[in-house]
Amino acid sequence: MTEHRAAATRGQQQIWLSDQLAPDATFNTVPVHVDITGDLDTDALAAALTAVVDRHEPLRTSYHLDGTQLVAEILPEAQVSVSARDLRDLPPAERSARAAALVAAELARPIDLSTGLPVRVLLLRLEDDRHQLVLLVHHIAIDGASVAVLQDELPRCYRMAVDGEVVALPRPPVAYRDIAEPSGNAEHWREALADLPAPLELPTIRTRPAPPDFSAEALPLVVPEELADAVRRVASTHRSSSFMVLLTAFSVLLHRLTGSPDVVVGSPSAGREHADTHDLVGYFVTMLALRVKLGWDPTFSEAMTAVRDTVLDALDHRDVPFHEVCAALGQTGDGDRHPVFQVVFASPPPLAGPLAAGGCVFTFTQGTSDQGLYDLELQLPDSGSGEMRGWVKFRTALYDRADVLDLTERFATVLGQLTTTPDARLSNLSLLSADERRRIVHDLNDNATDYPVRTLVELFEETADRHSDDVAVEFGAQRLTYAELDQRANRLAAHLGTLGVTTGTPVGILLDRGVHWVVTALAVLKAGGAYLPLDPGYPVERLRALCADASAAVVVTDRQEDLGVELVDLSAMVLTCPADRPQRTITADDLAYVMYTSGSTGMPKGVGVSHRNVVRLVRDTEYVEFRPGDRVAQASTTTFDAATFEVWGALLNGGRLVGLPKDVALDPVALGEWLRANEIATLFLTTSVAMHVARELPAALSGLRYFVFGGEQPDAHAVAALVAHPGGPEHVVNGYGPTEATTFASSHECERAEGRVPLGRALNNTQLYVLDQYLEPVPPMAVGELCIGGDGVGRGYVGNPALTAEKFVPDHLGGKEGARLYRTGDLARLLPDGTFEYLGRADRQVKIRGFRIEPGEVEACLHGSGLVRQAVVVPREDAAGDVSLVGYVVLERAGAGQVEELLRHVRDALPAYLVPSALVPLEALPLTRNGKLDLRALPDPEVEAAAPEEPRTPTEAAVADLWRQVLGAEPVGRDANFFDLGGHSLKAARILSRIENDLGVRLPMRSLFDHPTVAGIATEVDRLRDATPVSAGAIRAGARSSLSVADLLDL
């Protein structure tokens, strides 16, 4: 018998749909725990429960589809069934474990909204005078404020039953459905939430799984009494509530951990402004998107003001349901990410303390399910005195328990500093303990050595005196001993001196790699000048611009070019000048060379590097060992700073610099033969080339003592194969460093298969820090900008003091007067073992449909397929201005089938927003002259527009016709995708209803997600056509499908 049938409210529709789309999910189950002590009368308790359920319409409502409309069927009365278990026979320890297991099992069982009440009851008898009552209520019938109503009414009804009174409560004066639907103007929210920042993700978040996993864990969160009282005092002083102070601390923490000054946090509003709702049980809550804009470096007080204004403004417009806000913004979420906000902070009113009734004492506690829609959720009620006790809930697929515990500790740190120094600026906030700061700033960078602080010339001449007859440089048939190299450089230096070259004078070298280039570089230094490598392959206009920018008045060359400067013909004068070593007055801090690197403005930047910088790189080092007599290959072009490592690593240590022919490096077979024939001990290759060789022929590198690569993130699989190869290099080293920090700032020796290859640790006499936007150290695992200090940091950009001041900033951490840090613009994090991990360029991050994307994450997925040798993912903009990801791959085996298989792998492994719109197979990835990946040379993907394929069967034709009617789409082919045509959950319900009416088959809603094409649905219809129709309530059958939070919210 039904008391009333009505269309479900919009809020009820939202929650019901989420159940249908994730039929085995339990994030909609709200557990209410009641600890009962005393001589409990279970019959009286059952009567009390029945009376409470009977009073509240939502607790006696079931739901089912009537055609395409969701109907709420309200029973006139309800009889509550209590599932009771007596655990007194078990030992105390086993009893507690058994009770917890029974509760967990009950919580893991979804509540069926179609066949009965939206509430289940479990009663456990733990002792003679102690019971545990668990009410499991579906969220469609309850919210946080409802628990306080239950807390008031259940003991009251129990007392009536025990006293023999009629157990009944008067029905509310208004029906739930008449006051449960808020409505308002979403225009305010459209303006307040315009241009939302990227979705909020904490530094330790893992890659979102596919399909989504909503499993969650809740940990206790406690603010001690002393700190809680300080929060209340600050709230009173700043005309705020304790919630506003807590939210300020949480927002500041998120700001410092993510680097974003624009933070969006969700928070529930009770939605009970109507007086008649105060003592009702039901779902009234409205989620508010609190957007906190902190700006640049406010004080805590200013941040509190911003939070207070945000909260009050949101409360003034709380009458707009959240789904209407999302609709106004066009926000649907993606993957398993909640739209608008991913983190929730709440400070609900606390429940009352223990209540005595009928000889028993009832103590209520609101729990939470073991699944979550939000990435992270904090609940912290404030009773007005004493400690604050709540919980933090996190999705276990995204965060580790240890990371969340660390987050709560840092929240307490921020809260403590906010309450003690409210006028301090956020840049003065430290998220680190004293021990953490000492380890990060000092212990990990305690690497000073007594390397020689002298000039390159002094050290070379000492080496030449000791190894005068040894070969210093060899390019093909051309060789020079140390003595010969010294004498030739002396003659050229003398000539350069007559041209006005003195301390710090830039001198261009426009020569091919070879003996003459090395002579010239050494001669420029002997004359006191700084050499400027110029690539003979550059256009004349570019060469002229570089000379002008560097203020080079002289260029040594073997060709005639109009560069606007004096040209010196090396071959014409080397025999005419004296071979004596020139007198000089240069120091270790004078300029040694200027090397140009690409600039974001299109104009290259000239980096000035000192003698000290270079000596730090190649003398008394720990990452490589240069021995006298070692043969060091020069594979790099002279305009690439790896040449610094090669040339001076050999010549300052008594080694032999051996030129590697250009055409050999890219041919693994030829490279292996050349390395063995020339007995090379140390070889550097750019990462792209190194990985190519490691994949194709790791044996080519056998016999090397040191194999160093750098410039890009290496492929972990290729490195692992190389390390595991028998007879491979003794040492395989990943070197990292920008030109501004003199080739290498860190190194990591790859000793085993270890997954993603880290940057390692700082070189000797070098400091590495991961800093936030205020240039303060961030906690381990937090993402920040990698900044480099120490003796490898260059002098700055020649002729560009403004850019130098921006990128070379005072070193406030190292404690050395006048020292500077170089801001690399690279994203990194400090791993627990003390090594650093590279996470990509900050400017490689892309934002597509509001989501912040690191292409490196997609590249790692492509490499993990085992189908590709090389891969790079870049954003591409089409003619309409839409940006999407495009993947360029070098396949292990060519063929269209390989591309399709690779695309399937990516779709299975990554959320939809990370899947490239196209995969372009290439024979090889294009490289620059320096052997680095040339992104600009990647071709545009070719997109072919094909006419839709017509339906092949009568069922396909019928389904396509239904889609045209419901979706309003033309044309609809057999491969048309429901969601690509604008389908969403409500339209899915209509489609399935029409299929049942027209084709006689009832499909579960998940069918549209598992088989989203016309052909796929038609196949399911044909398969099930003769099956027995199932009830609406049986739609929940089957495994969880790949659903998004957006699907669950029907947005």
Position 331 scores a pLDDT of: 77
Position 878 scores a pLDDT of: 61
- Tokens of residue 122, six digits: 């479990």
- Average pLDDT, stretch 679-707? 93
CA distance 502 to 497: 7
Position 696 scores a pLDDT of: 86
CA 467 to mean position of chain CA atoms: 53
Walk me through the domains of the chain, giving residue ranges and CATH numbers.
Answer: 4-178 (3.30.559.10), 212-351+361-428 (3.30.559.30), 453-468+476-608 (3.40.50.12780), 848-937 (3.30.300.30), 954-1049 (1.10.1200.10)
- Tokens of residue 1019, six digits: 């196949």
Q: Which helix (H) or strand (E) holds 133?
A: strand 130-138
Position 798 scores a pLDDT of: 95
Position 1042 scores a pLDDT of: 32
- Average pLDDT, stretch 155-176? 92
Position 362 scores a pLDDT of: 98
Average pLDDT, the chain: 88
Residue 729 pLDDT level (bands cut at 50, 70, 90): very high
Looking at residue 701, its amino acid is: L
Position 1032 scores a pLDDT of: 29
- Average pLDDT, stretch 620-647? 95
Check whether 312 has a pLDDT greater than 50.
yes
Q: Which helix (H) or strand (E) holds 889?
A: strand 883-891
Tens digit of pLDDT for each residue in 919-932? 999 998 998 655 77
Position 208 scores a pLDDT of: 83
Would you give the DSSP letter of residue 25? -
Greater confidence, 1046 or 111? 111
Angle at 914 between CA 908 and CA 918, to 5 degrees: 85
CA distance 417 to 225: 16
Residue 1 pLDDT level (bands cut at 50, 70, 90): low
Greater confidence, 747 or 1044? 747
pTM > 0.85: yes or no: no
Check whether 417 has a pLDDT greater than 70.
yes
Position 515 scores a pLDDT of: 97
CA distance 197 to 845: 14
Check whether 1039 has a pLDDT greater than 60.
no
Tens digit of pLDDT for each residue in 11-65? 788 788 778 777 788 889 999 999 999 999 999 999 999 999 999 999 999 998 8
Tens digit of pLDDT for each residue in 896-955? 689 989 988 888 776 566 788 889 999 989 986 557 788 878 998 864 445 678 899 999
Position 541 scores a pLDDT of: 82
- From its phi and psi, is residue 1038 left (phi > 0), alpha (psi between -120 and 50) or beta? left
Check whether 1051 has a pLDDT greater than 50.
no
Position 1040 scores a pLDDT of: 28
Position 1044 scores a pLDDT of: 33
Position 913 scores a pLDDT of: 61
Position 793 scores a pLDDT of: 98
Position 84 scores a pLDDT of: 96
Position 577 scores a pLDDT of: 84
Residue 1033 pLDDT level (bands cut at 50, 70, 90): very low
Ramachandran angles phi, psi of 716, nearest 5°: -60, -35
Greater confidence, 986 or 344? 344
Q: Which residue, 944, 899, 945, 906, is CA-closest to 921?
A: 899
Tens digit of pLDDT for each residue in 864-891? 888 998 899 998 876 545 567 899 999 9
CA distance 895 to 887: 16
- In the chain, the percentage of residues whose pLDDT exceeds 90 is 60
Residue 604 pLDDT level (bands cut at 50, 70, 90): confident
Q: Which residue, 449, 435, 446, is CA-closest to 777?
A: 435
Q: Which residue, 1010, 970, 962, is CA-closest to 987?
A: 962
Position 189 scores a pLDDT of: 94
Position 1027 scores a pLDDT of: 56
Greater confidence, 996 or 682? 682
Residue entry with tokens 């660390």 = 406
Greater confidence, 832 or 38? 38
Under a CB-based contact definition with an 8 Å cutoff, are residues 535 and 637 in contact?
Answer: yes
Tens digit of pLDDT for each residue in 500-524? 999 999 999 999 999 999 999 999 9
Under a CB-based contact definition with an 8 Å cutoff, are residues 36 and 380 in contact?
Answer: no
Tens digit of pLDDT for each residue in 166-212? 999 998 888 887 887 767 788 999 999 988 888 888 888 887 887 78
Position 329 scores a pLDDT of: 87
- Tokens of residue 388, six digits: 């604050």
Residue 253 pLDDT level (bands cut at 50, 70, 90): very high
Residue 1031 pLDDT level (bands cut at 50, 70, 90): very low
Q: Which of 544-548, 674-678, 876-880 has the highest mean pLDDT?
A: 674-678
CA atoms within 13 A on the CB side of 283: 23
Position 846 scores a pLDDT of: 64
Check whether 487 has a pLDDT greater than 50.
yes
Cis peptide before 349 (omega within 30 of 0): no
Could you list the beta-strand ranges (E) of 232-342. Answer: 262-269, 286-293
Q: Which residue, 400, 397, 389, 404, is CA-closest to 371?
A: 397
Tens digit of pLDDT for each residue in 62-87? 998 887 788 999 988 888 889 999 99
- Average pLDDT, stretch 778-788? 91
What single string gives the DSSP state of each residue in 537-586? TS-HHHHHHHHHHHT--EEEESS----SSEEEEHHHHTTTS--SPPP---
- Tokens of residue 158, six digits: 């129990």
Residue 480 pLDDT level (bands cut at 50, 70, 90): very high
Position 603 scores a pLDDT of: 62
Greater confidence, 532 or 1008? 532
- Tokens of residue 984, six digits: 């969403």
Residue entry with tokens 């190519």 = 692
